[in-house]
Structure 1
């Protein structure tokens, strides 16, 4: 209040700048003078002028506020220059990392950092601007944009399919299944019309992420349940074959999330707009050359 009043030479204009009443500023200046034991202002016509004590103090106070502003300005500049994205392994390795260069080219002055972990990031304790999560949504205090469904369907390599011939859903029971979540295989087989077998489906290798499952399937190590959106480029390039039309889901989607309080930050708006457009541009075509799951 002292700095604003000294700069304006007027309690009313200082109050307007600070969003306060003139009476509140005047009262606080009176308390400040009592605490210092010296007058800081004298009334002059309709305004105020600094006393000798006030004139000595004002330049130091102004320089102090300039230093504070410069410190926060540096923080703001550093924050604007770097976008930190947190996402889980499957999205990072099979989709996002392949496309982030496009965003970087549109915003060459901004550095992009991609932190990959299946752990849910805390915006309160970690230096992360945005995150891509999977789930049902509904995270408190976060803005959430739904991107694409985390559904799943069987895929394998062309060589694997050539070795095992044309397949029906029933045939999968006797093939090595790349198995991260056995429950997902049960769901898909049931929805494809395959009754529960007398014995469990043949077990294949078990991996910790869908990204690893997809690469194991490309290597011909079995049939994996993969999310079509994340892998359709590999299908189009002939590295994977989608076996059936049948796609199952458990209500999980991929979301872009960030704190509500930061929704207007320019770099977050820019990444959000780019990502939503990129997802729309990569929307799945209708399956071609796959069989019905009945």
Structure 2
């Protein structure tokens, strides 16, 4: 029995390798078949399901992506690719809250495994795009509702104005002046309310001095300057062990996560509904 199990495991692993090779050659059908056979032999291996989901993702077959990723997550709750692609599949169905939740989960898992991996960057980009799309959708709805409400208020004021003129015939100028002031106040109130849905620039202190992009994983150096972790580590590795701004000696072990800036970035993004669109 043990030999049979080992044989099936070895065969499934070989099928996975075959599937990987087919995928690299863009033979998606053959890759899907190989992963499907591997799943039939060893259905409890999460990576076989996520590998097949990758193929379906490339075909834009999001229903199957969702199915395979849900199965992978059942088998391995810590599957980075499972949560990532499930999030993407849910976004395709405009289930933003659920999709964003899975993307955030995959980002946390990816950072825990390797904070400098390509997956962290890819997930971050997709997450920022998803949050912007969610904000844009909600913003459009709010703007439409706000405009309708403003028009109703303006109509009510004008009707009130006409009634007042009829009632107080000798005070036309006073009534008109009062209505004019009320309309100005109304426009001011609604303009202020609309500011929430207006894209805004990110303050300089929330941006890395090297990339000039908003911080994602900020770390502070002994000089007091804050950098994006992946960027400063790349500088130290390729250029030399010194602070790129102050030129002071700097080693990776001296970098400390800047929690204050990280929280400030999160607060900014939440306040502005991710209205700052990341490229």
Place the TM-score, normalised by the shorter chain, in its bin: under 0.3
Q: Which structure ranks higher in relative contact order (CA pairs < 8 Å, sequence separation ≥ 6)?
A: 1
The structure number with the bigger radius of gyration is 1
Whose helix proportion is higher, 1 or 2?
2
Task: Using structure 1 for the length normalisation, give the TM-score.
Answer: 0.19
Task: Using structure 2 for the length normalisation, give the TM-score.
Answer: 0.20
